Chain A
Amino acid sequence: MSIAAYLNCVKDLGLTPIKADLRYLILDKTSFKIDNPPKLYVERIKMAEVKDENEEVDEFGSKTKEGKQAESSDFIFTLAAE
């Protein structure tokens, strides 16, 4: 058997189809039927407004920041984590 023929025989062992099937099988077996998924409420507009309020325009017209400590409510990441 030539190398090309051999590779053709065993390609499913190493290439995409089996890996993809295995992946979907694992995901399927480890998932749950969930009727009401959790909800994450994000107020991006309000967050942007608060951010804008913290910016001050100085006499030269350039923006400066107040230098407040970051709070959990400032980031979507921390909101989601909580």
Chain B
Amino acid sequence: MDLSLLRPSKPSGTVPHVAFVTVLRGEHVQGDGGPYRQLFQDISAELQPDKVKREASAEKLLGLLVPSPNQIDNEQIGKDRFVLNSRRNSAKDIGHYYFLGILMGICIRTGVCLPIDLPRSVWKKLVGQNITMEDILEVEVRFVK
């Protein structure tokens, strides 16, 4: 798919700015803005499943993001953070991470929210900043100790 198709100009007036039209089949939804925003919320829930879903042993999980060690250890620092899954390194998985980046770009361009609790070390690497010990502390207190 040509990614430039996902970069539409901002429409004037109250027309919702969407990169693609979301059709929720079987749901009687009107307008483009609502389903579009809901899609990103649903994707966020898939990327960051809550504890109940995770603990259901055979629940199917996307697994691209996993709870940080601090979240597992119930530490006070960074206890709600998710980190990239280092075991997901196949070509298909890398493609999915690439697509996550595309989604982030779409969010920036169209002003929609994709709630993802990544630690600041991930954002720092994205903008080329150096990671400090405090950033590691946010992910894994055990490692720093």
Quick check: B20 and A42 within 8 Å, CB to CB?
Answer: no
Q: Is B1 an interface residue (CB 8 A)?
A: yes
CB distance from B142 to the nearest CB of A (A): 29
Quick check: A77 and B62 within 8 Å, CB to CB?
Answer: yes
A76-B26 contact, Cβ under 8 Å, with A32-B9, A38-B1, A38-B21: no
A30 CA to B19 CA, complexed, in Å: 13
Q: Is B5 an interface residue (CB 8 A)?
A: yes
Which residues in B have their C-beta under 8 angstroms from that of A70? 60-63
A67 CA to B60 CA, complexed, in Å: 7
Quick check: B10 and A31 within 8 Å, CB to CB?
Answer: yes
Which residues in A have their C-beta under 8 angstroms from that of B25? 41-43, 45-46
| Contact of A37 (CB < 8 Å), options: B19, B39, B60, B61 | B19
A76 CA to B24 CA, complexed, in Å: 11
Which residues in B have their C-beta under 8 angstroms from that of A45? 25-27
Q: Is A78 an interface residue (CB 8 A)?
A: yes
Give me 6 A-to-B residue pairs in the complex whose CB atoms sit less than 8 angstroms apart, sorted by A's number.
A32-B7, A33-B8, A44-B24, A45-B25, A68-B60, A75-B46
Q: State the A residues within 8 Å of B (CB).
A: 24, 27-28, 30-34, 37-46, 51, 64-71, 74-78, 80-81
